[in-house]
Structure 1
Amino acid sequence: MTVRARERDALLKALRAGVVPLIGQRHIQAGRTAELAVLTGDIERVVVGGSAVRLVIGEHGAGKTFLLHLARSVALDKRLVTLHADITADYRLHSEEGQARALYTELARSMATRARPTGGALAAVVERFLSTVLDEARQAGTDPGEAIRERLAHLEARPGGHDFAEVVGAYWRGHDTGDEHLKSAALRWLRAEYPTAAEARSALGVRSIIGDSTVLDHLALMSRFVRLAGYAGVFVFLDELVNLFRLASPQARDANYEQILSIVIGGVPHLGFVFGGTPEFLMDGHSGLFSHVPLRRRLGARAFAEPGLMDHAGPVNNGGPVLRLAALTAEELYVALAKIRFVYASGEDGRYLVDDDALVAFMHHCFGRVGEWYYRMPRATFKAFCDLLAVLEQDSGASWRRLLPGVDLSAEEEDDRPV
């Protein structure tokens, strides 16, 4: 398998920083075959007109974010438009002080397509819609503006659809007249960057903005719009939902859990969601998702009351909406390290910096340092391995046998343990 220089650099930079790369994940995938198959099934359901909601639950550092990004790459290959963001104190599903609107802005900025996998694809999606309609208008000999209005009429029956259509029409006018300011204003509206309706009215002549209370409505609108542009739908990836669990206000938590419930029961065609969170976010009886009784009933809490379901090599039942990540096995970790070695060598066997014995020795060293937790935090293991390879690359006379005793995972271990 060829490893492109761009993918190699993105992978290694992300792994050494302890974060998940946006591209090239397939080159280092090991294990998670069953879990990825479940998410791929959700993606295919959205492509054919269904909806999907999935919760991916795993310990900090267990690889849930990597799995989300891997599924995101599958979604892009299936001609879906993807949106992704982390839930934080400033980005929430529900708020009355702008945090939900800020989340939508982050999602819109992250918009990705197969041609633009790293984000920033909103303008390209709008341009593709216009190009498709204009080509059809030319072939039919009809007025381009009228053709655009007719196509956008499909959106106007939805909440917020009238102004959404007006804004896309404004982008077209800016495109047709060379008015870059008007195009920019339209994109600002579509990214939910107008804080007040008065500013949007002044710039675009519309009466509303994408606000805290209309985030889900506009995600549904976007799923319809991208279909008009020739894509298969929208898949939304929201990670770090543990930050909802940590909200100090019970009222704020419940309001956000109500939004999740709305998504679970909403079922918008061609729109899918994957949420990433920790076991405490899901299971805590006082503040976790299952403390919300309607959600607990919808998601099936009884199956998760059994002890040991998150243990290394323990039983995992992925038949329900909650996808739980067991720890990677030793064999899967070995495969992952071998793949990282392969990526580091740009896909050339003869350029390996370490041999197979080094992989085994590295695994034994890590297990000796942090014990069983080594299987639960592959992020820290991969970071340490990349750091080791970087030293060997810089110093051709260095020996992995001499350097290995100095590899320390203790700091990463503390960072990755649940709070």
Structure 2
Amino acid sequence: MADLKPRERDAIVQALRAGVVPKLGLRHIQVGRAREIEELVRDIDRIADGGSAIRFIIGEYGSGKTFFLNLIRLVALEKGLVVMFADLAPDRRIHASGGQARGLYAEMARNLATRTKPDGGALASVVERFVAKAQQDGEAEDRSAGEMIRERLAHLEELTGGFDFAEVVRRYWEGHDSGDEELKSAALRWLRGEFATRTDARKALGVRTIVDDASVYDHLKLMSAFVTSAGYKGLLVGLDEMVNLFKLSSAQARNANYEQILRILNDVLQGSAAHLGFLMGGTPEFLMNTRRGLYSYEALQSRLAENSFARDGLVDLSGPVVRLANLTPEDLFVLLANIREIMQPGPDPLPDEALEAFMAHCSDRIGEAYFRTPRNTVTAFVNLLAVLAQNPGVTWPDLVEALDIGADAGDDMSDVDEAIGAEPASEELASFRL
């Protein structure tokens, strides 16, 4: 791993010790799931070519959903897409009436990233790139930048909410041209969905609408068209922790969110969206539970049903649902070896015998969960290497023998099942639980 930068090494180690996914250096620890990655890369190419895509990434807690989503996020950035990722939470939902949907959009806008700004906060850079490109092309054609900007924003006005979106970008240009930083800041706040009232937006920018709960998806389509006009290949939207919709106590609120997901799904499958893709990460319960999950909404169940021919070892990865294949013990061994190389780059690393003993110990303690949902296993291994590095007199057999590890229960659904007085919706769903 000669190309591993110190910053990436630190980010990987710190994230793995905390049991979360690093945002840098994922290529150095990625193992397995090659077919799933190939399929998602084809989706990214489709988006770049003007198409659209949607995928539901389904896996148990600790199985690598977030890792997989972040890996695809990095691939999208490398291929010239803009990405907007966020986790759903009680105060961030796809559909709401109390500001939670706008809160989700604002979080995604703050996390907006490009290849040159992969950590987020890239919205201002995208708008500046659009303005600079219009200036350059205007000079080349002997036309004013304002005229070029109006011309290139004209197609946005055909979309829902597009007139005010285009007007805000024009107002940003006015601030840029006159040196009015307050006007530029107000325009960016509007684009990030940070205006809470229409009155404030009208006073600051002269527009009558804002990003509100009812218009989040429309603004994602507008953002997709805008970033494409700025010279990017398209927009990839990532939503993790979709299980938070499953946990909503109100059936009306759940169904409203599922109806919004259905709208997005229909737009994508019917080809109504352009240069736009969605990734949604969730658990098997979120997908398959017929009382609270996506399968409780009949129209979604019919569209997300698995290919009946894909059984007995046959796989179909072309549908909207991608079930993450379990890692094998061999995959986990390679993963631990990669982590060893990152944390022990010197000439005397931990021997393979130690990795095998560590895995055997984990298998004895928690069974096959040690490689199916490896988050706890990986965290324990990172902690072991950290102790060895800081205590020269300690040997690995002593640490492995003393290791106390349990299965990763994640944020399981037992409390939800008790609340509704139900067992898993089917034997098939039950088989996905540890």
TM-score scaled to structure 1, two decimals? Answer: 0.94
* 2:15/2:21 contact within 8 Å kept: yes
Q: Counterpart amino acid of 1:393?
A: A
1:320-331 equivalences under 5 Å are 320-331=319-330
Matched, 1:98 2:106: no
- Once the two structures are overlaid, the 10-residue window that deviates more, 314-323 or 331-340, is 314-323
Q: Counterpart amino acid of 2:338?
A: K
Matched, 1:414 2:404: no
> 1:205 — aligned with what?
206
> 1:368 — aligned with what?
364
Query: In the superposition, relative to structure 1, how do residues 3 and 418 fare at CA in structure 2: closer, same or farther (>3 Å)?
Result: farther
> 1:350 — aligned with what?
347
Query: In the superposition, relative to structure 1, how do residues 417 and 358 fare at CA in structure 2: closer, same or farther (>3 Å)?
Result: farther
User: Using the alignment, how far apart are the partners of 1:213 and 1:255 within structure 2?
Assistant: 11
1:227-238 equivalences under 5 Å are 227-238=228-239
User: Using the alignment, how far apart are the partners of 2:405 and 2:314 within structure 1?
Assistant: 27
Which of residues 275, 278, 286 in structure 2 aligns to 1:270?
A: 275
Matched, 1:385 2:381: yes
User: Using the alignment, how far apart are the partners of 1:89 and 1:212 within structure 2?
Assistant: 14
* 1:163/1:208 contact within 8 Å kept: yes
CA RMSD of aligned residues (A): 1.7
Q: Deviations over 1:305-331 (max 9, x none)?
A: 98xx9xxxx765423211112321000
1:15-30 equivalences under 5 Å are 15-30=16-31
Which of residues 299, 303, 307 in structure 2 aligns to 1:298?
A: 303
* 1:149/1:169 contact within 8 Å kept: yes
1:37-48 equivalences under 5 Å are 37-48=38-49
Instruction: Return the offset for 1:342.
Output: 1.4
User: Using the alignment, how far apart are the partners of 1:148 and 1:52 within structure 2?
Assistant: 29
Q: Counterpart amino acid of 2:354?
A: A
Query: In the superposition, relative to structure 1, how do residues 415 and 296 fare at CA in structure 2: closer, same or farther (>3 Å)?
Result: closer
* 1:59/1:418 contact within 8 Å kept: no
Q: Deviations over 1:310-364 (max 9, x none)?
A: xxxx76542321111232100000000011111223xx46253x11111111111
* 1:227/1:233 contact within 8 Å kept: yes
Matched, 1:284 2:280: no
Q: Counterpart amino acid of 1:413?
A: D
Q: Counterpart amino acid of 2:280?
A: F
User: Using the alignment, how far apart are the partners of 2:325 and 2:307 within structure 1?
Assistant: 18
> 1:174 — aligned with what?
175
User: Using the alignment, how far apart are the partners of 2:348 and 2:128 within structure 1?
Assistant: 44
Task: Give the secondary structure class of the aligned counterpart of 1:30.
Answer: coil
* 1:59/1:417 contact within 8 Å kept: no
Q: Counterpart amino acid of 2:153?
A: L
User: Using the alignment, how far apart are the partners of 2:309 and 2:292 within structure 1?
Assistant: 16
User: Using the alignment, how far apart are the partners of 2:243 and 2:104 within structure 1?
Assistant: 16
Instruction: Return the offset for 1:398.
Output: 2.0
5+ residue gaps, structure 1: none
Query: In the superposition, relative to structure 1, how do residues 349 and 393 fare at CA in structure 2: closer, same or farther (>3 Å)?
Result: closer
Query: In the superposition, relative to structure 1, how do residues 109 and 304 fare at CA in structure 2: closer, same or farther (>3 Å)?
Result: farther
User: Using the alignment, how far apart are the partners of 1:332 and 1:408 within structure 2?
Assistant: 22
User: Using the alignment, how far apart are the partners of 2:409 and 2:221 within structure 1?
Assistant: 40
* 2:86/2:238 contact within 8 Å kept: yes
* 1:316/1:324 contact within 8 Å kept: no
Instruction: Return the offset for 1:301.
Output: 4.8
Matched, 1:341 2:340: yes
Q: Deviations over 1:377-419 (max 9, x none)?
A: 2111111111111111112222111111232222x62336554
User: Using the alignment, how far apart are the partners of 1:316 and 1:378 within structure 2?
Assistant: 23
* 2:376/2:408 contact within 8 Å kept: yes
User: Using the alignment, how far apart are the partners of 1:98 and 1:416 within structure 2?
Assistant: 25
User: Using the alignment, how far apart are the partners of 2:325 and 2:148 within structure 1?
Assistant: 52
Query: In the superposition, relative to structure 1, how do residues 48 and 397 fare at CA in structure 2: closer, same or farther (>3 Å)?
Result: same
> 2:261 — aligned with what?
260
5+ residue gaps, structure 2: 415-434
* 1:377/1:416 contact within 8 Å kept: no
> 2:424 — aligned with what?
none
* 2:164/2:209 contact within 8 Å kept: yes
* 1:61/1:416 contact within 8 Å kept: no
* 2:59/2:324 contact within 8 Å kept: yes
Matched, 1:394 2:390: yes
Aligned length: 409
> 1:248 — aligned with what?
249
User: Using the alignment, how far apart are the partners of 1:285 and 1:304 within structure 2?
Assistant: 22
User: Using the alignment, how far apart are the partners of 1:35 and 1:72 within structure 2?
Assistant: 14
Q: Counterpart amino acid of 2:237?
A: V
Matched, 1:11 2:12: yes
Task: Give the secondary structure class of the aligned counterpart of 1:415.
Answer: coil
